[in-house]
Structure 1
Amino acid sequence: MNPIIHIYNFAFFYSLFLIILAAVVFHNKISIFYHMLFISITLACLGFLQTACAEEMQTAVFANQILYLGASFAPILMVMCYTDLCRFNLKKILLVSALSIAVVIFICTCTIKYTSLYYKSLYIIKDNGITFLKKKYGILHNLYYIYIAGTNIIGFFIAIRSFSKKHEVSFITSGLLIVSMILSALCYGLQQVFGWKISMVPVSYVISETMIFLLLARIRLYDIKKISTRYFDETKSTGFMIFNKKGKYLGSDTTAKLWFPEILNLKLDCSIDNPSTEFLKTISLWLEEFSTRISYFECGEKIIGARIYDLVEFGSKVHVIFLSDDTQIQRYTKLIENYKNKLEEDVEKKTEKLFKIQNDILISMANIVENRDNNTGGHIARTSDVVKIFVQHLIEKEKYPELTEEFSERIIKAAPLHDFGKIAIPDLILNKPGKFEPEEYEIMKLHSAKGAVIVNKILNNADDPAFKNIAVNVAHYHHEKWNGQGYPEGLKENEIPFEARIMALADVFDALVSRRVYKDSFDYDKAFKIVEESSGSHFDPELCSDFLECRTILENLYSSYNSN
C-alpha cells in the first residue's frame, strides 16, 4: 500500500479515536464546539482518504464534498475553541460572518454540476495507485483562501492577546496554541515549497487536534466556575483558590478576589513568590508543607476562614484553598470565649477567696493551739517568716529540683500547722514552767504524730492533695534528726521528707533566739553556732549550710520583732 494511504489512514483513525476519547474523558465537561471540531477534522481526514482511494470520478467528487464538510467548518470551530481556551470574547459579528462563509463554501462545493463559480472543472488522475482530484478553481474559490487566512489571523491574535491576560490565562496555554498554529502553517508551507503530492492538511489537523486535546485535559483545571459547581456551593459566603500539586496557581473565583485583592497579582501557572500579605504568606507555607489546617483573616468587618483540601480533577491532584465567611461563627466563638474567660476569672477569684478563708481558718486554729502554750508566744508567725525567707533563698540557689514555686507556696502555707498536735497535749505538761520530766517529755513528743493525724483529718477533703501531704509531713516529722535520733519515727537523712528538714531548721532557730519560761533567748552568734554544730547530726548538712547564709536577713527580721 502506498505510504500516502498509510498517512491518510492514520490521520482518519487517529481523529476518530480522539472523538471517542474526548466523549469518554470530557463527556459534558467541555463545550460542544470541541466535539464539533473533532468531528469536522475527522470528516476532513475521511475525505482525503476516500479521495485517494476513489476509483471513479463520482466517488472522488463525493469524497471531496465530505472533505469540505469538515474543512469548511474546522477553521471557525478552531477559532471558537481558541476563544474558550484563552478566555477571549470575540465579537459575534465576526463569528457569524465566518460561519456564514463556511456554509457558503460548503454549498459551493456541492454545486459543481450546476455552476462553475467555485470549480471550473474537475478530473481525476492516478499515480502509483493513488487517485488525485485535479481542479480548476473558479472565482469563489478565492473566498476559501480569504476565509482560511482570516481565521488563522484571528487565531494568532487571540493566542498572542492572551499573553496580556496572565492572571486569567496560563502562558503555557497561549504558547502551545501559537506553536500549534506555527507547526500547521509549516506543514502547509513545506508542501508548497517541495511540491509534495501528498496533502499536509490532514497532518496539520492532527497536530492542532492533539494540541487542543492536551490543552483541554489541562485547561479544565483552570475552569474555576465548573469546578465550583461540582464541589462548592457558589454563594457570596464562600470562595476558593486552586493550585496544582506543585503549588502553582491555577485560579480563583470572584468572591476570593473580592475578599483578598492581592490574588489579582498572582500569575497563572506560577508559584507564590515573595508573598506580600499575611494571607499569601500563610497559603504559601501550606503549599510547601501540606497539611489540613485552618486560619482566620480579617477582611474589613468580615472574618474569613481559610482551609486547604486535596481534590482530584480530571485525573490530576489539586490543592483547593476553601474560603468561608465565618464572621458570625467567630463572633459567637469570641463571645463564648469571653464568657468562658469571665467565668474562669470569677471562679478563680472565688476559689482564691475560699483558699484565703481556708488559710485564715487554719492560721486561726494554729493561733488557738499556740495560745494554749504559754511558752511559745508568736512562734507560729515567726517560724512562718523564717520558712519564707529560707525557701526564697533556696529557690535563688537553683540546686534543689524539688523546690518549685508551687512547692514553696505550699510549705510556707503549711508552716503554721507544724505544732497542731499540741492541742492534744494536757495543759499541765504543755504549760509547765520548767523542764519536762522523762515521762512528761515522752507525752510531749506525741504532739508531732497527733498533729499529723489532726492535719490529715482537717485537710482530708482539700482541693490540693499536694498541700495536704506537705502539711502532714511538716507536722509529723519536723522533730526528726539527720542522724536518726529524732522522733516520732526515728527517720534519718533523706528518709526525712524535704519539707520537714526545712521546717526543723526554722523551728529550732526560733526556739534558740526566742525567750522561753525555762530559758532566756540566745544571742545570734550563739544561736547560729549551735545550728552550725548541729549540721550532720540534727540537720541536713547541705540545707544547714544554706540556712547559715541567711544570717543577715534573719537577724534583721528578729530585730524588727524586737523593735515592735
Structure 2
Amino acid sequence: MMTVIYGTMLFVSIVVLIYLAQKEYEHTDIYQWTMVLIIAVVITAHWLMSQVTTAEGAYLLQCFAYFDSTYLFSVVLIYLLHILGIRVWPGLKIALFGLASLHVLIIFFSYHTELYYSGITLMETSMGTAVRFTPGPLKGLHTAYMLIMLGGLLSVMWLAVQRRGTYPRWHFAAYLMLPLLTIVIYGVEMVLNTGFSYRPVFYGLGAVMIAFQYDKAHAYDIGFLMAEAHKEEAGKGYLAITPSGKFLCCNRLCRDFLPLLDKLKVDERLPADDQLAQKILKLVEYYEKGYTQRIKYRLGEMTCMAAITSLSFGSSNGRLGYIIEIYDGTEEQNNLDIMADFNRSLNEEVKEKTRNIKEIQRKVVLGMAELIDNRDSNTGGHVRRTSDIISIIVDEILRQGKFQLTEQQGRDIIRSAPTHDIGKITIDNSILNKPGRFTEEEYAIMKTHSTKSGEMVKILLAGVEQEHFVEVAYNVARYHHERWDGKGYPEGLVGSMIPLEARIMAVADVYDALVSKRVYKEPMSFEKSAAIMCEGMGTQFDPKLKEIFLGCRESLEQYYLQNDR
C-alpha cells in the first residue's frame, strides 16, 4: 500500500517538474526548481525503501531521504529571505549548504559502522517493507541540525512580522509551512518509531503547491512586466484596470493619450459618459469575447492605437485585470491610408485587366467551340443549344433542391457547357463529318475527344479562371460520356463516381441530340425523346435526374419550339 502511495507521489513530483519545464517565463526561479527536484529525490528514496530487501540498501536510501531536512530546508530558508526582499550574503549560503553537505557526508561515511544507526530492522508487511532504524551515538547530530533549522525558520518569521506585509504574505506562508510541518511530522514519527514515513505524501502535495505558487508569483509581478515593457517599448502609455473596469495605475505618458485619467482616482471605474473611456471598456468587452485585441481612435490630430493583454495566474477565474498599451499611431495610420489608396487603385487595375483577360479567354473558348460546331456537320448549333438547356436544367435542380448543388456550382456548370466537346478539334474531318455509323476503329478515335477536351480545358483555363470553375469545366468535358451503369467512356465510371456536373451535361447532350436535326436523321418528337430519356434513367443517366428532367420538360420543349430546332 505504501509503495503505491509513494509511487503516486513520485509521479506527481515528476509531473510538476515537467510542468515547470514547459513554462516559458523569461526568468526561471532556481529556488523553486531546486525544491521540486529535491522533493523528487526524497520521494524516490522512500519509494525504493518500501521495497528494499537488505539492511545495507535501506541505509543507503535513508542517506538520500535525509536530503529533505538538509538541502531542502536550506533552499527554503534562503527563498523565504528572498521573498522578504532580503539579499542573502553569499557566505550564509555557503554556510547553510556546507552544513547540509557535512551532515549528509557523516551519514554516508558511517555506512559500515554503528555510529549513526546501531541497527536496522526490515519487516515485510501488507503495506510494503517497513524499516526501523535504531539510533547510534551520532544520530543526535541530526536532532541538533533540525533545531538549528527550526531556529532559522523562526527568525525568518520574526523578520516577516517586522516588515508588516510589504511582501506577498500567502506566498510566504505557503513556503514557511513546508519545513515547519515536516519538522512536526518528523517528530511524531521519531516518537512512534514507525516503519514508514508519511512525509513523502506531504512533499507530493508540496510540489503541487510550488507549481501553483510558481505561476502565481510570475503573474503577480506586474512591476516587472511594466518595467520590461518600458525598456522595449519607449514612447508608449500603459494603463492597468481591473476586470470590472476600475482604474489601477498608469504611466505618465498614458495621461497624454487618455486625458480623463487626470481626474480619476485609484479603484474608481472608468466614467460611462466619457467617449474615450467607453472605447477602452469596449476593447475589454471585445477581448473577453475573443473578437479583437486592438482598436484605434482619434484624439485631436493624433491617431491613437490601443492594444490589450490580460494578467492571470493560470486559470480563467484567476484573472487579475488588463493592461492597455497605447501609442501614437498617426504616422502608421497615414502610411496605412497611403497603402490602402494604392491597393485600391492597384486592385481596380488588376480587376480590370483580369476582366479583360477573362473576356479574351471566354471569346477564345467560345470561338473554338463554335469552330468545332461548324466543322461538325452532324451537330450544328449544338454548343449554343446545350449551353441554354443546361441553364434550364440547373435552375430546376436548384428549385427542387434534390442535389447538394450550390448556386456557384450551378453557374460554373452553365459557364463550362460550351467546352464539353472542345476536344473534337483534334478529330479528323473524315470521321467527324461521317454521315453513317462509325467503324470500331473510327469510334475508338472519336471517343478520344472527351479526354482531349479535358486536357484542353486545363490548358486554356488554368491560371486564368478560379480553381473551382476549372475543376467543374474539366469534369464536364472529360466525363460527360460516362454512363450510370458503367458502360460509358473514357474511364467507365459507375454511378455517383461520375461528377454531378458531368451527369447533368450528359442529359443535356443526349436530349439535344434526340430532338435536333442531324444530317443523318430528322428531329425526334418531344414525346418519343422524353420516353427515351426516361427509359435511360438508371442505366445511362442518374435516376435522380428523372424528376429534374420531368420538372423542366415543358420549359425545354418551349425552348426548342421558339428556337426552330
Normalised to the residue count of structure 2, the TM-score between the two structures is: 0.51
More displaced, 235-244 or 526-535? 235-244
Match of 1:194 in 2: none
Does residue 453 of structure 2 align to residue 450 of structure 1? Answer: no
Deviation for aligned residue 1:369: 1.2
Quickly say closer, same or farther: Cα 1:383–1:305, change in 2 above 3 A. Answer: same
Tell me, yes or no, if the aligned pair for 2:396 and 2:552 is still in contact at 8 Å: yes
Match of 2:267 in 1: 269
Deviation for aligned residue 1:521: 2.0
Tell me, yes or no, if the aligned pair for 1:482 and 1:493 is still in contact at 8 Å: yes
What pairs with 1:384-399 in structure 2 (closer than 5 Å)?
Answer: 384-399=387-402
* 3-state SS of 1:322 partner: strand
Match of 1:525 in 2: 527
Match of 1:413 in 2: 415
Quickly say closer, same or farther: Cα 1:547–1:260, change in 2 above 3 A. Answer: farther
Match of 2:307 in 1: 307
Deviation for aligned residue 1:380: 0.3
Match of 2:4 in 1: none
Tell me, yes or no, if the aligned pair for 2:481 and 2:506 is still in contact at 8 Å: yes
Tell me, yes or no, if the aligned pair for 1:505 and 1:544 is still in contact at 8 Å: no
Quickly say closer, same or farther: Cα 1:484–1:236, change in 2 above 3 A. Answer: closer
Deviation for aligned residue 1:269: 1.2
Does residue 288 of structure 2 align to residue 285 of structure 1? Answer: no
| Counterpart residue identity of residue 352, structure 2 | K
Quickly say closer, same or farther: Cα 1:482–1:321, change in 2 above 3 A. Answer: closer
Quickly say closer, same or farther: Cα 1:511–1:261, change in 2 above 3 A. Answer: same
> Matches of 1:367 and 1:297 in 2, distance apart?
59
Q: How many residues align?
A: 347
Deviation for aligned residue 1:444: 3.9
Deviation for aligned residue 1:303: 1.4
What pairs with 1:215-230 in structure 2 (closer than 5 Å)?
Answer: none
> Matches of 2:250 and 2:526 in 1, distance apart?
82
Match of 1:369 in 2: 372
What pairs with 1:202-213 in structure 2 (closer than 5 Å)?
Answer: none
Query: Relative contact order (alpha carbons < 8 A, sep ≥ 6): 1 or 2 greater?
Result: 2
2:246 corresponds to which of 242, 245, 248: 248
Which digits, 9 at most, give the CA deviation of each residue in 1:46-72, with x for residues without a partner?
xxxxxxxxxxxxxxxxxxxxxxxxxxx
| Counterpart residue identity of residue 428, structure 1 | S
Tell me, yes or no, if the aligned pair for 2:457 and 2:470 is still in contact at 8 Å: no
Quickly say closer, same or farther: Cα 1:275–1:487, change in 2 above 3 A. Answer: same
| Counterpart residue identity of residue 241, structure 1 | L
Quickly say closer, same or farther: Cα 1:360–1:273, change in 2 above 3 A. Answer: same
| Counterpart residue identity of residue 368, structure 1 | L
Deviation for aligned residue 1:364: 0.8
Quickly say closer, same or farther: Cα 1:445–1:480, change in 2 above 3 A. Answer: farther
Quickly say closer, same or farther: Cα 1:323–1:373, change in 2 above 3 A. Answer: same
Does residue 549 of structure 2 align to residue 550 of structure 1? Answer: no
Quickly say closer, same or farther: Cα 1:265–1:288, change in 2 above 3 A. Answer: farther
Match of 1:459 in 2: 458
> Matches of 1:244 and 1:478 in 2, distance apart?
66
Deviation for aligned residue 1:472: 3.9
Tell me, yes or no, if the aligned pair for 1:513 and 1:522 is still in contact at 8 Å: yes
* 3-state SS of 2:522 partner: coil
> Matches of 1:475 and 1:229 in 2, distance apart?
67
Tell me, yes or no, if the aligned pair for 1:420 and 1:447 is still in contact at 8 Å: no
1:507 corresponds to which of 506, 509, 514: 509
Does residue 539 of structure 2 align to residue 537 of structure 1? Answer: yes
| Counterpart residue identity of residue 548, structure 1 | L
> Matches of 2:523 and 2:359 in 1, distance apart?
34
Quickly say closer, same or farther: Cα 1:550–1:276, change in 2 above 3 A. Answer: farther
Does residue 338 of structure 2 align to residue 340 of structure 1? Answer: no
* 3-state SS of 2:564 partner: helix
Match of 2:122 in 1: none
Unaligned runs of 5+ in 1: 1-20, 27-209, 218-226
Quickly say closer, same or farther: Cα 1:308–1:291, change in 2 above 3 A. Answer: farther
Tell me, yes or no, if the aligned pair for 2:283 and 2:292 is still in contact at 8 Å: no
| Counterpart residue identity of residue 268, structure 1 | V
Match of 2:33 in 1: none
Deviation for aligned residue 1:259: 4.4
Over the aligned positions, Cα root-mean-square deviation in angstroms equals: 4.5
Does residue 325 of structure 2 align to residue 327 of structure 1? Answer: no
Tell me, yes or no, if the aligned pair for 2:284 and 2:308 is still in contact at 8 Å: no
Match of 1:86 in 2: none
Unaligned runs of 5+ in 2: 1-80, 87-160, 169-224, 313-318
Tell me, yes or no, if the aligned pair for 2:454 and 2:478 is still in contact at 8 Å: no
Q: Which has the larger radius of gyration?
A: 1
Quickly say closer, same or farther: Cα 1:496–1:272, change in 2 above 3 A. Answer: same
Quickly say closer, same or farther: Cα 1:455–1:214, change in 2 above 3 A. Answer: closer
> Matches of 2:288 and 2:495 in 1, distance apart?
58
> Matches of 1:349 and 1:432 in 2, distance apart?
44
Deviation for aligned residue 1:514: 1.5
Quickly say closer, same or farther: Cα 1:380–1:248, change in 2 above 3 A. Answer: same
Deviation for aligned residue 1:456: 0.6
Deviation for aligned residue 1:505: 0.5
* 3-state SS of 1:550 partner: helix
Deviation for aligned residue 1:382: 0.8
Q: Identity across aligned pairs (percent)?
A: 34
Deviation for aligned residue 1:379: 0.6
* 3-state SS of 1:541 partner: coil
2:386 corresponds to which of 350, 363, 383: 383
Tell me, yes or no, if the aligned pair for 1:449 and 1:488 is still in contact at 8 Å: yes
* 3-state SS of 1:285 partner: helix
| Counterpart residue identity of residue 458, structure 2 | L
| Counterpart residue identity of residue 517, structure 1 | V
